[in-house]
Amino acid sequence: MEEKKKEIRISVRNLVEFILRSGDLDNSSGGFGERDAMQAGTRVHQQIQKKRGADYRAEVPMVHEKEYEHFILRVEGRADGMYEDGTTTVIEEIKGTYRDLETMEEPVPVHLAQAKCYAYIYGLRTAKRRWAC
């Protein structure tokens, strides 16, 4: 009887944070102000999702599994939103900020990496459907 392979699960967010890690080892920040910002971000996030059109899907599950010799790696998360118009697919990773957008030169790398991972997983899933015999 074949032994069941161990499944290693990681969220897209944790994966990209690990890959792009940098900075201080002291991770002790995160007081009340950060929690308030997260709650405000969640409210804005939901408002944005509610304003999207009928073809919009919020909180789209994204999962990719890769089997190796001794284990299965499962990368999973939820894209904040997605819509398709027949020729184009848009995958959203919605983030709020208190910073002045005019001063931001580029996206936060971890946020951009999350969106790219979701797009990659979607692309793999779509390619499998198109090329299945």
Q: Contact, 54 vs 83, CB < 8 A?
A: no
> What's the rounded mean pLDDT across residues 3-24?
90
Mean pLDDT score of the chain:
85
Q: Which domains does the chain have, with CATH numbers?
A: 6-19+33-131 (3.90.320.10)
* pLDDT tens digits, 51-66: 888 889 999 999 999 9
Give the pLDDT confidence score for residue 36 in this predicted structure: 77
Residue 118 has pLDDT above 90, yes or no: yes
b/e 94-114 (16+ beta carbons within 10 angstroms → b) = bbeeeeeeeeeeeeeeeeebb
Residue 75 has pLDDT above 70, yes or no: yes
pTM comes to 0.80
